[in-house]
């Protein structure tokens, strides 16, 4: 029997959080009022936010049972709206998260979501990310250019992983966590992430993470504008 059979850690995946009407159409965006309700609900239920380091320790079997109501919270792409709107809500409830940053996109605006009915998004500046880091939020890598690593050459993959890590280490002291752009990964990508020195890597495969889950293939539960309260709770899994 594993040392801690009950561990099943949800890792939530968000992209953008904006003060828009709950019914407004905006791909990749969770309305701020709904986000606030979700975090308040977690706090009422006694959840605490886990860092990805804590989640990794738990999945390796090195953690303590008091972490049973742990949830790790992640945001992909490093949007400014997350620093402006989501970080203060999390801080209000004593929670933190990991922000996965695309280093070449910092302080720019991209239209990744425009196709498909979305909108363009501004990415946070280095100053804004540093302020979030000072509040206990972790900054992880989401590559340099947000390109899929499964169809890139070995040299490009090594650079996307290594150069983004180096940039973030210079700014924030360390960079141990990675998120695959588009969730795309295979055995070769996972091996490259390992060689680059990351401790964890998040995919977009749905599900909870149980003891022994490979740390470079962490599952995440996507939260989107269509996540009703019931669906959000079900995604947290075992303790509802
Ligand atoms: Zn992304």
- The CATH number of 8-236 is 3.20.20.370
pLDDT per residue over 111-128, tens digit each? 776 544 556 789 999 999
Question: Residue 237 Cα, ligand 1 centroid: separation in angstroms?
Answer: 24
Burial of 69 (0-12, 13-18, 19+ CB in 10 A): middle
Please measure the distance between the N-terminal and C-terminal CA atoms of the chain and give it in whole angstroms. 24
pLDDT per residue over 204-213, tens digit each? 999 999 888 9
Is 50:101 a contact under the CB 8 Å cutoff? no
Separation of alpha carbons 122 and 108, rounded Å: 6
This prediction has a pTM of 0.93
Question: Residue 62 Cα, ligand 1 centroid: separation in angstroms?
Answer: 30
Greatest Cα pair distance, the chain, in angstroms, is: 49
Here the tokens at position 209 are: 């993470």
Question: Residue 3 Cα, ligand 1 centroid: separation in angstroms?
Answer: 34
Separation of alpha carbons 190 and 183, rounded Å: 12
Question: Residue 139 Cα, ligand 1 centroid: separation in angstroms?
Answer: 14
For residues 110 and 3, the model is more confident at: 110
Whose CA is closest to 224, among 80, 2, 24, 27? 27
Angle at the Cα of 55 from the Cα atoms of 140 and 175, rounded to 5 degrees: 20
pLDDT at residue 212 in the model? 87
Question: Residue 55 Cα, ligand 1 centroid: separation in angstroms?
Answer: 21
Q: Which helix (H) or strand (E) holds 17?
A: strand 16-18
pLDDT at residue 4 in the model? 46
Question: Residue 6 Cα, ligand 1 centroid: separation in angstroms?
Answer: 31
Beta bridge partners of 8: 210
Buried-exposed string 172-199: b where 16+ CB fall within 10 A, e elsewhere: beebbbbbbbebebeeebbebbeebebb
């Amino acid at each position: 029997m594993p040392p801690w059979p009950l561990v099943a850690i949800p890792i939530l995946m968000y992209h953008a959080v904006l003060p828009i009407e709950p019914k407004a159409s905006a791909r990749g965006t969770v309305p701020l009022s709904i986000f606030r309700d979700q975090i308040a609900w977690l706090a009422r239920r006694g959840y605490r936010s886990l860092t990805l380091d804590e989640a990794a320790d738990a999945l390796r079997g090195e953690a303590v049972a008091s972490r049973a109501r742990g949830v790790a919270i992640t945001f992909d792409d490093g949007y400014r709206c997350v620093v402006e709107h989501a970080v203060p809500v999390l801080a209000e409830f004593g929670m933190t998260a990991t922000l996965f940053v695309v280093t070449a996109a910092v302080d720019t605006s991209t239209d990744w979501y425009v196709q498909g009915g979305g909108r363009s998004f501004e990415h946070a500046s280095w100053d804004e990310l540093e302020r979030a880091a000072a509040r206990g939020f972790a900054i992880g890598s989401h590559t340099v250019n947000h390109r899929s690593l499964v169809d890139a050459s070995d040299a490009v993959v090594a650079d996307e992983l290594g150069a983004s890590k180096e940039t973030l280490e210079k700014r924030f002291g360390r960079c141990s966590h990675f998120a695959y752009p588009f969730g795309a990964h295979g055995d070769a990508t996972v091996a490259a992430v390992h060689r680059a020195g990351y401790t964890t890597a998040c995919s977009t495969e749905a599900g909870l993470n149980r003891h022994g889950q490979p740390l470079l293939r962490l599952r995440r539960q996507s939260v989107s504008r269509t996540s009703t309260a019931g669906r959000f709770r079900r995604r947290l899994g075992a303790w509802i």
